[in-house]
Amino acid sequence: QKAEWAKLVHEKTVTSDGYHVELAANIGTPDDVKGVLENGAEGIGLYRTEFLYMGRSELPTEEEQFEAYKTVLERMEGKPVVVRTLDIGGDKELPYLDLPKEMNPFLGFRAIRLCLEMQDMFRTQLRALLRASVYGNLKIMFPMIATLDEFRQAKAILLEEKEKLQREGVPVADDIEVGMMVEIPAAAVLADQFAKEVDFFSIGTNDLIQYTMAADRMNERVSYLYQPYNPAILRLISNVIDAAHKEGKWAGMCGEMAGDAIAIPILLGLGLDEFSMSATSILRARSQMKKLSKEEAASFKETVLSMSTAEEVVAFVKQKFHIE
């Protein structure tokens, strides 16, 4: 099987009925790009930049960040690279920021909430990204967006920094797509409104599932509630994809679910455009995708969305798509 997969490294991901989907990889550091290329990913769908900030005693400088982003963009040779701005807080702490302990860190001061308040830190990252943008195909996305106002503020700050750089005579790409992660149920429900203003969505199921089911993604005791195939989750995902397409935008997914063998036929049927997963899952996913018919998968959309339990969904998909 491994040998069969290895032959797919340089292939595009095309379904049996000729539909192209983008298989991208998630990375945490520039060193991860090696694995991305070896496994034939068509792009990077999530660069988690928080690792630049972790395991050290002070904030990374603009220069350090610029070098990291430039390296990734150059090594990807024009393939799309979606960089997520700092998503700190929750399970990821930064000791040197000295933030007060919170009762509910996952519901607290984190990610874009923190960046919109600690703007110096946010602007430094955005400047580094904008400067690096001329070295490849950069797309920027904001994490944990709950309201349109947050997205608008973040985008306005990005545009301010872009204009500043241009006034300073620093070259910046002028076609950078700006999108958001959909990982808060409010954003998934209101996706039709967001879709008018974003360039793309990337669905973060790791958090979307925990917030929708009110079940901590790290807590074993409630892991039975962490249900990717719960129809409630599938309806939210479907709503996000449909909303994007109505506005001519694309929708991807960068949560663990995107690389899951049972989820793949469902997501293909719901019309997901980009699947971003760990690099080591790419070839298995490509091999699976090539055997699937998009049209057939789409014909099951309404059936799956009208089911009542995760078990029902799983049993149905396993049977229809011959998954063990």
In contact, 105 and 89? CB cutoff 8 Å: yes
CA angle (220, 226, 228) in 5-degree steps: 145
Residue with the two structure tokens 């990337």: 202
Q: Which of 32, 161, 199, 207 binds Mg ion (CB under 5 A)?
A: 207
CB of 144 to Mg ion, least distance (A): 7
Q: Is 96 exposed, middle or buried (0-12, 13-18, 19+ CB in 10 A)?
A: exposed
**Contacted entry of ligand PEP, Mg ion, none for residue 48, CB cut-off 5 to 8 Å set by kind:** ligand PEP
Q: Per rule CB under 6 A, is residue 85 in the interface with ligand PEP?
A: no
Q: Per rule CB under 6 A, is residue 207 in the interface with ligand PEP?
A: yes
Spatial distance between the Cα atoms of 113 and 161, rounded to a whole number of angstroms: 19
The residue among 206 and 288 lying less far from ligand PEP, judged by its C-beta, is: 206
CB of 263 to ligand PEP, least distance (A): 13
In contact, 243 and 280? CB cutoff 8 Å: no
In contact, 119 and 158? CB cutoff 8 Å: no
Q: Per rule CB under 6 A, is residue 139 in the interface with ligand PEP?
A: no
Tokens coding 263: 């989820």
In contact, 81 and 45? CB cutoff 8 Å: no
CB of 195 to ligand PEP, least distance (A): 19
CB of 154 to ligand PEP, least distance (A): 17
The residue among 213 and 254 lying less far from ligand PEP, judged by its C-beta, is: 254
The residue among 144 and 283 lying less far from ligand PEP, judged by its C-beta, is: 144
Q: Per rule CB under 6 A, is residue 204 in the interface with ligand PEP?
A: yes
Helix (H, G, I), strand (E, B) or coil at 85: coil
Torsion from C-alpha of 125, 42, 253, 235, nearest 10 degrees: 150
Site string (237-276) toward Mg ion, x via CB under 5 A: ----------------------------------------
Restricting to residues 39-78, which ones interact with ligand PEP according to CB under 6 A?
46, 48
Can you say which residues are annotated as belonging to the binding site? Answer: 48, 84, 183, 206-207, 217
Which positions touch Mg ion (CB under 5 A)?
Answer: 183, 204, 207
